[in-house]
Structure 1
Amino acid sequence: MPMRYFLLLMSLWLLAPAVAQTPNPAVLRVDSLTTKGSRNGLLLEQGWRYHVGDDPAWARPDFDERGWDTLNPARPRQELPPRLGSGMSWLRLRFRLADSLRQRAVLLQADGYGAWEIYLNGRLVQRAGIVRANPTQVPDPDKLPPVVVPAGGPVEQVLAIRFAPWQSRLLRLGTETQLLDVFLRSEAQVREQAAREVRAAMGSSVVAGIFGLLTLLHLAFFRYYPAQRANLYFAFFAGALALQCLALVIQWALSSPTLEAMLPLLFVRRLLFYLAYLWAVRALYALFGFRPGWVYKGLWLGFFAFVALTLFAKTYAGYVGALLIFLIIAELLRLTGRALRQRQRGAWMVGAGFAVILLFLVVILGAFAVSALLKVPNPLQQAPGGFNTFVSLLLYLSPALGISLYLAREFALDSQLLQVKLTEVEKLSAQTLAQEQDKQALLAAQNETLETQVAQRTGELQRSLTELRATQAQLIQKEKMASLGELTAGIAHEIQNPLNFVNNFSEVSAGLCQEAQELLATAALPAADKDELTDLLRDLEQNQAKITQHGRRAAAIVRGMLEHSRTSPGDRAPTDLNALADEYLRLAYQGLRAKDKTFNAALRTNLAPGLPDVPAVGADLGRVLLNLFGNAFYAVHQRQQAGEAGYAPTVSLSTERVDGHVAIRVTDNGTGMRPAVQAKIFQPFFTTKPSGEGTGLGLSLSYDIVTKGHGGTLSVHSTPGESTEFTITLPV
């Protein structure tokens, strides 16, 4: 954050290195690892010499570098010689540790954007990246382990650093401006620094979790109450801060990242911080009912200017960023103060959140002022690390909690108001209900009487309507069947008359052929002529036989058409299907036995007891059953004639009641039917019997009687070579 960077710069300005020069000004004497109470270690700023170029001999401790130029590598890059900004260079420092420091190990840590090799007394002790003119894959210096300056070393020690600055365009995304910072720290200081990083990561994890929950909470508020758009903007604010803290945790968790990965992540964190507080400004506008004006637009313009300067002119980006955060905080305070002056409900909660930030800013600035004026250590730098972590969490969370409490209070007050309104509505409803109950008490008896009468009349009307619909359907079906019967009868009669002539004259012609053959046998004709005439008469006789056969088939079709057109004069009446089916089963069996005395078949019946009577026309259903039984006996008779060993012809009849219907099943173990035949058997004039044995109208007529005449169904299920089952279902 910009405030964090400001504090760091102020602390660096106040810190003065605790060093004392020896009589040889080329050697730095180190008496202490702290400066003015700072616990961050000793920053080595004096005594450095540098030289541009690369020579391995410059790492040796006996090399004389007094001809090199002096340098403070901790100063910003733009203040250093331009030739240090690219290419290879060496930095050398001679230092002496006090006797108290030489008796224990001292740790050395470097921080900068570049690749380097550190030599201590001529020995390579650390390599960061690949040192070359334009280094790549430069590691994050914060993740490098410290270099150990062992105890009991020489009195005068030589530190040589082979350095190549990182020259990537991503460098402008970072916040470090120095060339290279080199610290001497004790083990306790290094552990404390690591502990601070852990506390910062843990604190960021907590803050990320809290802001993540606030994001989901306010998105839910907006989802169910979209009129309050402040919830949406505050969700954006909390979400941006949650992502920023999450990025810090990711940055801390990465074990060995490169600067190519870390600097963009750092830049994104900075952008999320500014975006979060821009959304906080927008949330306050919506929260207090103020209309955003040119100030708010100017803040967004400043944000885009900061982004552009960071990418293209980093020198001024820090100033613009600090000014932007100052203006954002000023606008937040202005909006809160305006709401307080207007005495808006709950505005003091938001003001309390920002007052915490102001209080800590005053404390921080006062501590720096006291330290600078009185030349004493900064009291904030002496505070425990846990206290600093707590303060950071409070600075992050106080405005968010203030706004959240305000929104929660508004939600609660709206809920209370709604509860009051609901109570009033309930009272009014109770009064209205009491009045209605009085009226209902007066009308209850009349309503019961009317309802009883209406129910009775409705039942009567319903029964009448049902009977009327059934009668109407029956009449329509009868009219259709009568019209079809008349048409079929007329066609059949017209065909029957010429067909009778054909059949009669065919029989007469057959007789004449026989008489001609007899006369030819006694006639005195040459043998060749007689044989030829005999063949002609024989062919003529065969033709007459074919004419007679097909004439009889046509006569059977005509009789079937006349039967199809015949309508039953009776109406539907309750019919005992068990008795009707059993009667026609016996009748069909005896009829087939009369034609062929050698035929026998087993009859099996399974008639459901207590079967209700079904409204039906008995004669029509009898014709259907007679046709089905006849087909069944024909099928078993055909299979019996095939001579199959062990075959026993069987025809079964069963009845049952299923879901408000009565089902009649006729089953045989005859020849069965293929699927292609099953699809056509209910079509008129389709038959599988030989010519002269079937008209193809039996099943068609049966299907019409069951479906159209009685509102039922007729279906078939057959397995070729095994069995066939016809099922009739009729409504009760």
Structure 2
Amino acid sequence: MKHLLLLLLLLLTLPTWLRAAPAQPKPGVSPPPDTAVLRISRLPATGGLLLQKGWRYRPGDDPAWARPDFDDSRWDTLDPTRPRRELPRAAQTGISWLRLRFRLGDSLRRHDLLVNAGERGAIEVYLNGRLVQRHGVINADPARVVARGRFPQPGQVPAGGPAEQVLAVRYAPWQPPLLAGVDRAPQLIVVLCSPQAFWQGQAREKDNARVYLVLLGFSALLALLHYAFYRYNPAQRANRYFARFALAAALASLAGYGAVALAFDSQMPYIVVLFAANALASMTGLWAVRALYALFNRQPGRLYAALWVAYAGLVLLLALANAHPATTYLWAGMSILFTAEEVRLTVRAVRQRRRGAWIIAVGFAGGLLAALAYVGVLLLPVSLLVANVCIAAVFVLPALGISLFLAREFALDAGLLLIKLGEVERLSAQTIAQEQDKQALLAAQNDTLEQQVQQRTGELQRSLTDLRATQAQLIQKEKMASLGELTAGIAHEIQNPLNFVNNFSEVSGELVAELKEAQAAGDAAEVAALADDLAQNLGKIGHHGRRAAAIVKGMLEHSRTSTGERQPTDLNALADEYFRIAYQGLRAKDERFNATLETDFAPGLPAVPAVGADVGRVLLNLFANAFYAVQQRQQAGEAGYVPTVMVSTQRVGAQVEIRVQDNGTGMSEAVQQKIFQPFFTTKPTGEGTGLGLSLSHDIIAQGHGGTLRVESQPGQGTTFTITLPA
């Protein structure tokens, strides 16, 4: 009895119900033994008459073989409904012709009939020399033969034809490389039937396929519902696995409906859809087992992994040997394994008095009854629709049992949450009362603290006012120091052209006196030479005067308050100008100081939008620090030391860099971390305010959207890098 139950339970997940093989025509009246003419007196009421006897066969291809008057008496006889492997080799691999002479009874000749031929191959059917049916693509190369699809159009056998008629079939077998076992199927099936029986059969087959649409809707609804349950409560992982089970079932139902109800132009798309339907239908068993593991709090072990491995191997076998009869038995064995594991888990849960496990057991019992009903339908002459309904019940009832179990668990958990929510509300009320008492105490403490805060705030405000006044004084001192350095440098710069003006003025005065003497003496050549010298001196005086005026004009421009408006600025010229001014400013303070000035300006540097006066202040501050660092190292008396300060520019992508590099005393890592902090300085008291680099950093970073960074090593030098958007 136990083994009988397992055999019946395999129908719960048996995927072969999706193969949807078309109903074979009933033999009807058995034809007489093989004779020259097949006599047909009547047709079955349903289906059609399978033409087996009377066929003559010949390999090769000749259009003349379709003519009704062709003599085929020397051809071999053949039963085309036999498996391909039992036929001659030539019939299995190339184009061949089959001819059948038949005679219809008087009652049949008065009505239109249909002839339908096909199997896994391409065909052309000729009736009395006229082409009445063609499906697929015939080719001498078996690899290029395209087999016919589903629901082909039949050929017409018109009423009132001759008493003796000839049916000629040009046939090329389809030999797909990966469908092992195709040689076990019939070579060719030719059916003669009435139009009413043919079209009613096809309509009935498509109508019966609608049960797959019912399964599709039911499965899709289950997938959506349990996915929503899982999103609401991720701790119940069974909902996730059951949602996958329902999704696989929905996709299998969709593919099954397509395989049964849709017309395909060729055989391969139909086989692909059928393969997908079988693979997905079998996958439902795996996800059902996984859902039961999660429901009953059991960890899947090697057995479940082995089921996946067996499933993968079976899917591969199905892809390679879809037409082989052994696949049906292997699917049945796989279904038995899935069902046995599901039953084992359910029975164990019932024995352990697992809450609600009886619901799943009832679902499986209903599926078993549906399987028994299906067996009864197969034994009794009942319509295919009833069989499909039984198959749907085999799937739906266990799935419904699992779904109801999960829904019950969800409802129980929700009720438990309501109880806990009431407890939380009661505890919240107690907490609120305690919180109110604490709030009253905190209010009193807050009043005291507020008075203390107001008192401290007043003190801090006064301290802040004093600090701001001190800060303003320090900033003013820093500005004055910068202005002093700028003024000293400009004064030193303007001294040279003024000296030239004075010297050339004195020489010009002497030339005027000599000119008068030469004029009095009447020496015209001397007068002309002195006049040329005088004109040359006046040109020099004008040149250096203009130079002094330019320096004064630049000093006035730099002394104006910045408007903050950015203008296209030549950084090369700006850096060179302030480099010279900073050096002359330091030499104005200490004429003994000398340093090597190096420049490396990038040619063709684009104009950068900047506030020239602000960037000039930054450069002046960096140059002053660099000269101060090399001066300090020089005063240390280091042998062979040559003070050197270098400024360079370059374009890096969409930015322009200005580097100020010296070989001075350098800075430690700790100093570099604080170098841009306000009021931090490494200079002795009275020589610096500690605001120069801080203000420079703000001008570059906040005013121009750039960066100012420092790199230094003690005893080797320092490099400041300004980066501005181009």
Q: Tell whether the structures are fold-level matches, with TM greater than 0.5.
A: yes
Contact 1:285 1:291 in 2 (8 A): yes
How many residues of Structure 1 are paired with residues of Structure 2 in the alignment? 563
Contact 1:114 1:166 in 2 (8 A): yes
Residue 238 (1) aligns with residue 246 (2): yes
C-alpha distance after superposition, 1:249-271 (max 9, x if no partner): 55567655212333233233322
User: What are the within-5 Å matches in structure 2 for residues 575-614 of structure 1?
Assistant: none
C-alpha distance after superposition, 1:469-525 (max 9, x if no partner): 431221112322444466677789999999999988887777666666666666xx5
C-alpha separation between the residues in 1 aligned to 2:216 and 2:542? Answer: 104
Q: What letter is aligned with 2:293?
A: Y
> Structure 1: which 5+ runs fail to align?
370-377, 566-622, 629-674, 686-703, 716-732
Q: How far off is 1:112 after superposition?
A: 1.1
C-alpha separation between the residues in 2 aligned to 1:540 and 1:404? Answer: 116
Q: Relative to 1, partners in 2 of residues 1:189 and 1:284: Cα closer, same or farther, differing over 3 Å? A: farther
Which of 320, 333, 340 lines up with 2:330 in the alignment?
320
Q: Relative to 1, partners in 2 of residues 1:391 and 1:428: Cα closer, same or farther, differing over 3 Å? A: same
Contact 1:111 1:141 in 2 (8 A): no
Q: Relative to 1, partners in 2 of residues 1:472 and 1:48: Cα closer, same or farther, differing over 3 Å? A: farther
Structure with the greater alpha carbon radius of gyration: 1
Residue 457 of structure 1 corresponds to 455
Q: Relative to 1, partners in 2 of residues 1:247 and 1:509: Cα closer, same or farther, differing over 3 Å? A: same
Residue 587 of structure 1 corresponds to none
Q: What letter is aligned with 1:324?
A: M
Q: How far off is 1:431 after superposition?
A: 0.7
Residue 434 of structure 2 corresponds to 435
C-alpha separation between the residues in 1 aligned to 2:20 and 2:538? Answer: 128
User: What are the within-5 Å matches in structure 2 for residues 45-60 of structure 1?
Assistant: 46-54=52-60
Moved more, 301-310 or 350-359: 301-310
Q: How far off is 1:406 after superposition?
A: 3.4
Residue 17 of structure 2 corresponds to 4
SS at match of 2:180: helix
Contact 1:503 1:547 in 2 (8 A): yes
Q: Relative to 1, partners in 2 of residues 1:531 and 1:239: Cα closer, same or farther, differing over 3 Å? A: same
Residue 304 of structure 2 corresponds to 296
Q: What letter is aligned with 1:423?
A: G
C-alpha separation between the residues in 1 aligned to 2:608 and 2:310? Answer: 84
C-alpha separation between the residues in 2 aligned to 1:75 and 1:232? Answer: 49
Residue 633 of structure 1 corresponds to none
C-alpha distance after superposition, 1:353-392 (max 9, x if no partner): 43333212101223444xxxxxxxx2423x6x4x555444
Q: How far off is 1:294 after superposition?
A: 4.5
Q: How far off is 1:144 after superposition?
A: 1.2
Contact 1:115 1:130 in 2 (8 A): yes
Residue 275 (1) aligns with residue 286 (2): no
C-alpha separation between the residues in 2 aligned to 1:497 and 1:133? Answer: 107
Contact 1:140 1:262 in 2 (8 A): no
Residue 644 of structure 2 corresponds to none
Which of 109, 118, 123 lines up with 2:116 in the alignment?
109
Residue 532 of structure 1 corresponds to 526
Q: How far off is 1:454 after superposition?
A: 4.8
Q: Relative to 1, partners in 2 of residues 1:248 and 1:100: Cα closer, same or farther, differing over 3 Å? A: same
Q: How far off is 1:323 after superposition?
A: 2.0
Residue 569 of structure 1 corresponds to none
C-alpha distance after superposition, 1:272-292 (max 9, x if no partner): 322332333233223322333
Q: What letter is aligned with 1:473?
A: Q
C-alpha separation between the residues in 2 aligned to 1:533 and 1:62? Answer: 140
Q: What letter is aligned with 2:425?
A: E
C-alpha separation between the residues in 1 aligned to 2:612 and 2:525? Answer: 49
C-alpha distance after superposition, 1:405-453 (max 9, x if no partner): 43344344434433433332232122111111023224424424533x2
Residue 33 (1) aligns with residue 39 (2): no
Q: What letter is aligned with 1:365?
A: V
Q: What letter is aligned with 2:416?
A: L
C-alpha separation between the residues in 2 aligned to 1:159 and 1:298? Answer: 54
C-alpha separation between the residues in 2 aligned to 1:559 and 1:23? Answer: 128
C-alpha separation between the residues in 2 aligned to 1:459 and 1:29? Answer: 118
C-alpha distance after superposition, 1:573-623 (max 9, x if no partner): xxxxxxxxxxxxxxxxxxxxxxxxxxxxxxxxxxxxxxxxxxxxxxxxxx9
Q: Relative to 1, partners in 2 of residues 1:358 and 1:103: Cα closer, same or farther, differing over 3 Å? A: farther
Q: What letter is aligned with 1:456?
A: Q
Q: Which structure has more RCO (C-alpha within 8 Å, separation ≥ 6)?
A: 2
TM-score of the pair, normalised by structure 2: 0.62
Contact 2:511 2:530 in 1 (8 A): no
Contact 2:58 2:96 in 1 (8 A): yes
Q: What letter is aligned with 2:462?
A: S
Q: What letter is aligned with 1:44?
A: L
Q: Relative to 1, partners in 2 of residues 1:139 and 1:197: Cα closer, same or farther, differing over 3 Å? A: farther
Q: What letter is aligned with 2:17?
A: R
Q: What letter is aligned with 1:269?
A: A
Residue 723 of structure 2 corresponds to none
TM-score of the pair, normalised by structure 1: 0.62
C-alpha distance after superposition, 1:541-574 (max 9, x if no partner): 974896599589869979998x999xxxxxxxxx
Q: Relative to 1, partners in 2 of residues 1:8 and 1:245: Cα closer, same or farther, differing over 3 Å? A: closer
Contact 2:370 2:391 in 1 (8 A): no
Q: Percent identity between the aligned chains?
A: 41
Residue 472 of structure 1 corresponds to 470
C-alpha separation between the residues in 1 aligned to 2:105 and 2:497? Answer: 143
C-alpha separation between the residues in 2 aligned to 1:556 and 1:438? Answer: 79
C-alpha distance after superposition, 1:206-239 (max 9, x if no partner): 5445544544555565566555443443344333
C-alpha separation between the residues in 2 aligned to 1:179 and 1:140? Answer: 13
C-alpha separation between the residues in 1 aligned to 2:405 and 2:542? Answer: 109
Residue 287 (1) aligns with residue 295 (2): yes
Q: Relative to 1, partners in 2 of residues 1:43 and 1:207: Cα closer, same or farther, differing over 3 Å? A: same
Residue 176 of structure 2 corresponds to 168
C-alpha separation between the residues in 2 aligned to 1:198 and 1:287? Answer: 38
Residue 420 of structure 2 corresponds to 421
C-alpha separation between the residues in 2 aligned to 1:278 and 1:194? Answer: 34
Contact 1:112 1:179 in 2 (8 A): yes
Q: What letter is aligned with 1:432?
A: T
Residue 722 of structure 2 corresponds to none
Contact 1:499 1:555 in 2 (8 A): no
Residue 588 of structure 1 corresponds to none
Q: How far off is 1:33 after superposition?
A: 1.3
C-alpha separation between the residues in 1 aligned to 2:498 and 2:17? Answer: 121
Contact 1:118 1:127 in 2 (8 A): yes
C-alpha separation between the residues in 2 aligned to 1:32 and 1:233? Answer: 53
User: What are the within-5 Å matches in structure 2 for residues 164-203 of structure 1?
Assistant: 164-172=172-180, 177-200=185-208, 202-203=210-211
Which of 109, 112, 136 lines up with 1:129 in the alignment?
136
Residue 616 of structure 1 corresponds to none
Q: How far off is 1:131 after superposition?
A: 4.5
C-alpha separation between the residues in 2 aligned to 1:520 and 1:122? Answer: 139
Residue 443 of structure 2 corresponds to 444
Q: What letter is aligned with 2:249?
A: L
Contact 2:370 2:393 in 1 (8 A): no
SS at match of 1:138: coil
Residue 344 of structure 1 corresponds to 354
Q: Relative to 1, partners in 2 of residues 1:500 and 1:423: Cα closer, same or farther, differing over 3 Å? A: same
C-alpha distance after superposition, 1:95-115 (max 9, x if no partner): 565665554333332341122
SS at match of 1:179: coil
Contact 1:110 1:141 in 2 (8 A): no
C-alpha separation between the residues in 2 aligned to 1:549 and 1:454? Answer: 72
Q: Relative to 1, partners in 2 of residues 1:114 and 1:484: Cα closer, same or farther, differing over 3 Å? A: closer
Residue 150 of structure 2 corresponds to 142
